[in-house]
Amino acid sequence: KDTNAAALGLAVGGEEGAAGRSFAYLHLGTGLGAGLVIDGSVHRGARTGAGEFGHQVIQLDGPLCECGNRGCVEVLCLGAVGRGEVAEAARVLGVAAGNLVGLLDIDVVLLGGRTVSGAPEAYVSGVGEVLGALARREGAGGDAVPVRVAPRGERIVAEGAAQLLLAPLFGRGDA
């Protein structure tokens, strides 16, 4: 998956201080996916399905998603994007990121994809506001998980894909 490739690229050399850490790379473009790095290694899951981030249901009676469920993050977020409601798209993405933060206790959320690159400050701010509110509610002393735009834009997917191909030759254990 492209999001796993991007996450590997970030873990190996793209994100300052990422070595040995846990983070989520959330990619919003024509779809919505996640690459997950847990303790410095890309997490693919038992059936390689980890990162199907866009198909978590957050609105039970929401609009029908192409996956067959209703109220998936992807359909809600892309619907807001299609209506030009960037703040709402960022809020929806933030709610879903909050679920991920609560479940995995990750260190940082990195955002990428063409949609994010069109309004990076709005997405960082919107997702950050939701995570900040979550931290305050959970008594984390206001220490929200930081949100940043992933470095190197769309190139990070290609760089991570190259890492996936080269890892067996050079011994990277988590590829």
pLDDT digit string, tens, across residues 57-111? 999 999 999 999 999 999 999 999 999 999 999 999 999 999 999 999 999 999 9
Q: Residue 2's pLDDT band (boundaries 50, 70, 90)?
A: confident
CA distance 172 to 37: 14
State pTM to two decimals: 0.86
Q: What is the pLDDT of residue 45?
A: 77
Domains of the chain: 2-53+103-170 (3.30.420.40)
- Quick one: pLDDT at residue 118? 95
Q: What whole-number distance in Å separates Cα of residue 35 and Cα of residue 1?
A: 8
Percent of the chain whose predicted confidence (pLDDT) is above 70: 78
Alpha-carbon distance 65 to 69, whole Å? 6
Instruction: Check if the beta carbon of residue 128 is closer than 8 Å to that of residue 147.
Output: yes
pLDDT recorded at residue 157: 67
Mean pLDDT of 124-149: 89
Amino acid at 107: D
Q: CA geometry: angle at 61 spanning 134 and 51, to 5°? A: 55
Q: How far is 156 from 12, CA to CA, in rounded Å? A: 11
Q: What is the DSSP letter of 10?
A: I
Report the mean per-residue pLDDT for the chain. Answer: 86
**Phi then psi for 43, rounded to 5 degrees?**
-100, 115
Residue 42 pLDDT level (bands cut at 50, 70, 90): confident
Task: Using alpha carbons, list the distances in angstroms from residue 35 to 28, 45, 47, 104, 110.
Answer: 12, 11, 15, 13, 10
Report H helices in 10-110: 73-82, 86-104
